[in-house]
Structures are given as C-alpha cells and as structure tokens.
Chains A and B, each alone.
Chain A
Amino acid sequence: MNELKEKKGHSFLDFAYQMYKSMKTNEINLVYEGEVTQEITKTFTSLTERSLAKTEESNMVQRKVFHVMVECLQNISKHADSLEGEEEKRGIVMVSHGKESYNIITGNVIKNEKIPTLKESLEKVNSLDKENLSALYKKQMREGRISEKGGAGLGLIDIAKKTGSKLDYQFKALNNDVSFFILTSTVKRK
C-alpha cells in the first residue's frame, strides 16, 4: 500500500516536472482547466494584463490580448455545455507567446447539435476581410439583441476584427452528444 502511494507520488512529481518543462519550451504563460465564471475572467485577464505590462509589448498588443481573453472567457461562461454529471461551465484556457504572436487558446464542451450553427458563424467570420468584418459588426450591433445569457452575438466577429487573424478551430467528438470545441486566437506582435 505504502509502496503504491509512493509510486503515485513520484509519477505526479514527474508529471508536474514534465508539465513545467513543456510550458517553458512552448512559452506558455497561463494554463487553466476548471470552472469559468466572471470572477475567473476578471482574475485571469488582470493577471495577464499585469504580466504583459512588465514586458516591452506595445499597448496595442497588450490591449488586444486582454480583449481576446475577455471575449473567449465570457463565451465559455455564457455558452459552454457540460459533460453528464457536471453543473458548472468549465473550460480550458491557455495563453502562449512566440516570436511572432500571442496565442489565446480556449476549449469547452459543446452539444453536437449546436456545432453546425457555430461552424457556420466561424466560417462566415473567416471569409471576411477587415472592412466587411466591420460592416458585419455594425449590422449585428444594430439588429441584434442582448440574449438572455447576456451575449450580443459579436464576440467572434470582434476577435477576428481586432486580431486581423483567421479563427483557428477544431471540434473533437467526445461521444454522441457532445464534443470539445477548441478555439485559437492569434494576436500578432508588431
């Protein structure tokens, strides 16, 4: 029994070390898996804001990273679905940076039935250039309404507009009912 416990302890230390190393090599600034609430959103965005403020990064880039994080996290806290037996809105959040850009990666469970509509929105946004994104944003602001969940249907358009990058996404099927939706937003460093 004790032996087993010890072994487990070691493998966890290994895991923690491997993770530390891999975070260092991949220049990951933040990783989180768990419930995503407004409190969590505020905490992570201000954490990232403060750590970016210490860098040489331009205000513009800092602001864009902050902005994308808020939209992605609020998307999760408003729209994420749950695995059976879970109540809360959960998700993963990762922020990494390389020479060229910051990547904000978020992931959450989504009901398979919602995928076609979301995919359509993502493809639509990805098909537009800056000018047309701005036109779509204005149209949606005028015609849209704040939903019961508090969303305005503007988040994805805005991320694409502010970052100037295509939205990179994937759906990984978890079972017949739900999938895992991963969204990568890229903010270029200039």
Chain B
Amino acid sequence: MTQPALDLSPPVSDEIRKTTCYMCACRCGINVHIKDGKVAYIEGNRDHPVNRGVLCAKGAAGIMQHNSPARLRAPMRRTGPRGSGEFEEISWEEALETAVSWLAPVREENPEKLAFFTGRDQSQSFTSFWAQAFGTPNYAAHGGFCSVNMAAAGITTMGGAFWEFGQPDWERTKLFLIFGVAEDHDSNPIKMGIGQLKGRGARVIGVNPIRTGYNAVADDWFGITPGTDGLLINALIHELLKAGRIDLDYLARFTNAPCLVDAREGETQGLLLKDGEGRPLVVDRRTGSLKPWNAEGVEPDLSAGQTLKGTAHRTVLDHLVSHFLDPSHAAENVAERTGIPAERIRGLAALLAKTAFEEEIVLDRPWTDFRGHRHERMVGRPVAMHAMRGISAHSNGFQTCRSLHILQILLGTVEVPGGFRFKPPYPKPMSAHPKPHYRAKAGEPLDGPHLGFPHGPDDLALKEDGSPARIDKAFTWENPLSAHGMMHMVIANAHAGDPYEVDTLFLYMANMAWNSSMNTRSVMDMLSDQDEAGAYKIPRIIYSDAYSSEMVAYADLILPDTTYLERHDCISLLDRPICEADAAADAIRWPVVEPDRDVRGFQSVLVDLGARLGLPGFVEEDGSAKYADYADYIVNHIRRPGIGPLAGWRSEGTGRGEASPDQLDRYIENGGFWISHVPEEAAFYKPWNAAYQEWAVETGFYDSPQPYLFSLYLEPLRRFQLAAEGYGSRQPPEHLRERIKSTLTPLPHWHAPLVDALEDPAEYPIHALTQRPMAMYHSWGSQNAWLRQIHGRNPLYVPTALMEAHGLADGDWVNLISPHGQITVPVAHMAALNPNTVWTWNAIGKRKGAWALDPKAPEATKGFLLNHLIHELLPPRGDGLRWSNSDPVTGQAAWFDLRVKMEKTRAPAEVLPQTGAQTSPVPEAPETLAWSVR
C-alpha cells in the first residue's frame, strides 16, 4: 500500500462573517466561517485591534455555546413556585404586555419601586439611558461587586484605571509587575503582552498567593498573604523615598505633589489651597510666588511651603513624605504580615529603582504640555504595572489600589514610554465624570445619569431624611464613592425592605441566584421568601437570559435573549469600548446567523418596552415608537450633538457628526469595528499633552481640553473626613464617624480587611479564594460541551503544610467552615501556593437541572461554589445595623476577605450543601456529539 493521496487544499468555508466574540467581555474580533448557512468554524480576526487574530479557549469553542442545548427557546411565564423551574412558553406580545402591565403603574406612582440591574453586558450606556428615562434611581451593573475599587482608585487618582481602561506599553516595558490577576477582562491582550515580553526577555513579576497562569510564567513569584498588598506596596514606597529614588520633574509638573495643603484649623483644613476661581495653588519656582497650578509657564515647586497669615502651608509631597517615611512602613515591619522576607521587598524596590532610573528610554518626539512648555524628548521609565481583583476585591482594596498608583506615579511611569498607558476615552479626570443622580419623581425621567463620583457629602444619594435614596445604598456614608453601584446588596436589601421595598426586580444577564451572589444559599431563599399572606417578599421578578441558568428558575417572567451570533450589539465609546493606547476603536455584533428559536435581542426588547411605556427618548412627539429596534437605535440615537453610540462613519469623519445611514454596513465591511489612531506626538503624556487634548476633543471624548494633575492627595476623601470631624451641614450617622475618619484618608493608610477585626483570625486562620479558569466563563461556560470536559468539577486546592497538618491526600474531603456557613468538598494538593491559603476555580459548581446538564453532572455532584461561605453582610455587632461586607470607600464586595477553618471528613455522596433541583425548561441534551456541518 502506498501513501494515500491527500487533498491538501480543501475548501475552508463558503463565506466568512466578521463580528465580535462574546464568550467573555474582552470583545475580540472573530471570523465566523459559514457553511450551508451554518456556523462551521470560528477563528480570530487578524486585523482586529484587541486580539490580532488570536482567540482564547472560550472564543475558539464559541460554536458549542452558540449551539448549546441550554438555549432558551421562547418567552416564559412561571407556573410553579419560584426556584422550581416550572414555566409555560408564551408569545412575545403576551410577555411584553405583561411587563408593561407591571411597569407602567410603577412609573406612574413611584419609579423607585423598579430595581433594574444588569450584568456584564456591554450596553450599559443604553440600559442606563433606558433606566434614566424610566425614572428609577435603582440602576447599576455588576461593577460594584466586580472591581469598582480598581476603577474608582484609578479614576480619582490618575483619571484612568487598570481594568480594561489602560495597558502596559508592551512594546517597550522592561519590568512588568502583575498584582492579583488570574485572567482579567483583557484576557487575550494580557496573554499576547506577556508573550511579547517573554520574547524580548523582559522581566515579569507576579504578586499573587497562587502560582498559576500568568504567575506560573512570571520570573519571580511573590506568594503574598491575601489582603496585605497595601503593606507591601507602602513598604516599596517607603524604601524608594528613603533612597530618593523618585521622579521629581514628573511629580512637579504632572501631579498635585507641589500643591499646597490648607493648614488652617477649621472646615477647610486639609483641603488644597485655592485661588478665587477654585484653582489649586502652587509655588512658582521662577518667582517663588503663588500661582494657579495650570498658569502659563509655571514651574511648580515641590518643596517650598508657603506661610500665609502666620500659618505654614506644606506641599502635598511634604505630607506624603511624612506619611510614608514613618518606620511602620519599613520592609522589616511588614515582612511577617505579608509573608514576604524584608530583603526580597527591598530587592524589589531596588529593581524598580534600577529599571526606572538607570534603564530609562528616550523617544525623540517633541511635545508641548498644557502650560505651553515644549519638551524636546519623551523620557520613559520602563516599569509597567497591572492589577485586578486580587487587589480590588478586598475591603481595603480602594486604598491598596491608591497605594499602587502612587507607587507608579512616584516612579514617573504613568503615560510615559515603557510604562502604563491609558486607552482612549481615558484619561478622563474624576471632575469630567458626572455626579450621581437619584431624585425620583412619579411619571418623570431621572434628572441625570445614575452613576458617577460624589465630590463631597453634598453629592451623596440621600433623601431629605438622610436615608439612602437607592435600594443598594450606593453613595451613602457607608460607601460614598460607590461609583458602580452595589448590585450585591440589591436582593438582600429588597428582601429586608431596607431602605425600602421594591415592586419589580428587573435583571439582565446576571446569575444572581447563583455564582453572582454572595451567600448564595440564603439569596435563593430571599428570592422565594413569602410573607404571611403567601405573597413573595420581592413581588415581581423579570429576567432576561439566553440560557437555562439558575436565575431563570427564580424569575416570574423570562425574556429570552439570542446568542451572541444572532443579534446586534454595540461596543460603544460611550460605554466600555475596545480602544488601544494608540487608537480609539469601537465595534458591533450583528446577526451572522438568524435565530432558530422564538427569541429576541434584549436591547431590541428594551427599545420596544421603552416605546410601549412611552419613555422619553423612545417615542416621537406623537407617541409612536422612535426606533424600530436596537440596530435603528445604534445608528440614529443622538447622545450629545454630533455624538452617537458609534463613532465610525459619521459625517465629520473622526467620530463627530451625523451617522451615515449605512453605518452598520460600513462596520460589517470593515470587519465589525472602527479604529482611529492617536497621532504620534499625542501618544504619551496624554493628560497633559496639548496635541492629545485636541485630538480627544475632535474625536468627541470631551467638548473642550481637560488637562489635569494626578491626585497623590485625594481631596474629595478629605471632605468626607471633615464631615466626620463635625464640619459642614451634612453629617454622617454617629456609628460611622470613626470609620470614615480612619478609612477615607486623603493619603492611603492600610487597614486590615474589615472582617479580621470582627472575626477571630485565630479561629479562622485560613484565607479562601477563587480564581477564574482561563477556559471557563463564570457559570455560562459549563453548557459548553468542550469546555466542561476541561473544567467539569473543582477541587479545593490546599498547600503542602495544610495537607500535612490535616493528614490529607488528594481526593479526601473536608468541611470548609466560615463564620456563617459550611461546605463539604474534595481537596487536591498544590505546592506553589501561599501556605495559609486554599482556593478553587470560580463558578464551576452548578445547581441540578440548570444548563441542560444531567442532574448527575459532575458540576452538580462534585463541583461547588465558595459563595455559600461569603456573606454580603459583616457579622452582626449587636447594634442591630446591617453592615455590608464591602469596601468603606466604594462599596466593592469583599469576596477575597473570606477566612475559613478546615476539618477532614468522610466523603459524602455529593458536595454539600445541595440546593435542590430545578426542572429544566429546555429539551433534553443529545447523548453524543460528532460536530460538523459537512
């Protein structure tokens, strides 16, 4: 027999349709290969700015999600009790009219009785617009339990954050520090970046209790004790200051380091000294006289204080130095708590100094700053940093993120070559963001956007009687800067009627009855809890999902969405766009195939509901519907004059002007996205670079240049402290005064995670964490036949010392106990792990009957959620108050503060707790797959 003849050039597909992936929120470009009108193969789009052709495991398995047996098929009305999963399919007309019959009266009487919360959809500029038109103050997305600490600390400190709003200068950086990241939103860009660094032999340092993924390939691993990064970072700052290894020129020109801090006793003490027009003042080195920070040609002086009317006012830098030079910040004094030896901390500080100051890189690109000062070169300090939920998902996360940014800024590594760079529309200072709006009026739209940044007590979302205006208690004294809302408190508060009761809970794309919630077991009970009369405590629940999730079973009315390949979506500059540091970009999804079920894109459904409810912005004067569907809205909605959802193919080219009527076709021709590159001279120093500011105005990010200074010193926090000290008319409740004084500090003070103060660390000595598996997306990956073979169950990973101490071997079972719950789960040994930390993969565990999986599926029998152990409230302290388990500044859910103890036990038949089964509203799944459309 001879070598068989092979066809080496088989046809690949009939057609390629280019759209945007949605197996996660990274939004990579995909080429969908179509054969006989069906999806045959999905690969990355090489031209796309986000992924340049690569795809992750989820994206490449998209075909299995698109064809999942768990896809909902039609609108449904609940027939059984909540949680049972018993539904009847109904028509869209019936579904929409039911929704209207619930919502219209609410809007007429009291819009705040609607709570509308969404998950990680990418249409928040649209959903918030809808909620604003409806008039309820109760709107937010998942950010509050996700990473608001990261976003808020970044925006308030430097007008832009990690998360997906910035990126290292992958091309040039020589040293990359990554804190508390397992996967990130920027899934592929980070992998591509690390690959690029490895290729160049740049050094990667991972700070993380767990050494997997990025931390496994890192050249150095700092297996830090959870919750103590603030100590580590402050120690690095201490050591660098002591050695004078900071970028003085950068600090003087671009930060509020030279600004003077008011030293006068009284209601202005600790605020920045300002001129009549409210402009912070600096001493001009040329003349020694006081000048506004942004005056033409000013050379701010870092050290010179100024004595006025007998009081000596010191500069921010002066205050900062006194704070960080305190011996408590020395490496020796944090080594034990952080679990990092002092010499390694100092070694890291030295490495930072060496790379930033002895390996500086210079681009010969002249540029001009906002003071008209021309710089001949762009000087880069090639140290880049990135951080995510490992830092932010702690109750001290905000100040830890602040410390990290201050470290970056002291080294002069932000917005410089080789450092950390913002992605347009960032940089955008806090002052350019809205303040929260919350005043609900019967039958009226809200007076402005829900979310934003309070600048002081006067901006808090409080009613006249001082009670919270929002159901989630965002923007209150408990957490003034809760810029993303506090979705994790909604169900608990609505159930408790605290601060008030709601009528309808409207959820979109968030599995709140499961992995999205803390304290899952109880949340399921709250959702199905009834009063004496047998009425549900939360009277009505409307939910839009695309798949048969756990949350579906707890809703009364289901509005089934399409899959990501079957609808229009808009990844807008008004929302969370796909920009790169060197370019502005936005993108769409479009129906590359038509749904074979009676489902509708949720945004189109909202457009329809908006029209039926007669919401302003959704109807014409004559009351007729303004938009046919979401596609129509995307092209024709006007947010500000000349500004719409998509920046591409508008009459004035760069992002402003009339949208061309065939805008969507242009996007499709262009591969589903639009991109506009930042001019070379505008590429760095963006917050201060006149060229960038001009370009940003042209492109429509703002209507006038917005240069600003980085806030080493965070004045807004000081305003809350002043209130806590008794100044001003709006006063915090007594029980919060001390906490506000000690946690809302204008310079970052590290404090232990809040629970540590309340629970006995000695009784619960072990930290328990979760990580994102790179090949799974929260709960929704488990319906994917390929991905669930990779992560079908999740052991609890236990470090060597604890395995030995508890006499454990792989496959043994333990009771994992937190102050308010217990789970029984299997363990596996892991050596590359912080010795006081156990962890598991996130959201693998499933409820029986969900996701079209067999009730005996390993996800339900061996997989588990850590969430049962994490409470949305801090343990009661006998004051009758409900203290949320959140960061005191932002309300960020403190997932990773969890402490547990562990005891060996004999293996039960299944993991515990079991949460009963839901009947599956979708047809049985196939018994074998041999996937192919040939």
To the question of whether A and B form a pair in one complex, the answer is no
B-side interface residues toward A, CB under 8 Å? none
A-side interface residues toward B, CB under 8 Å? none
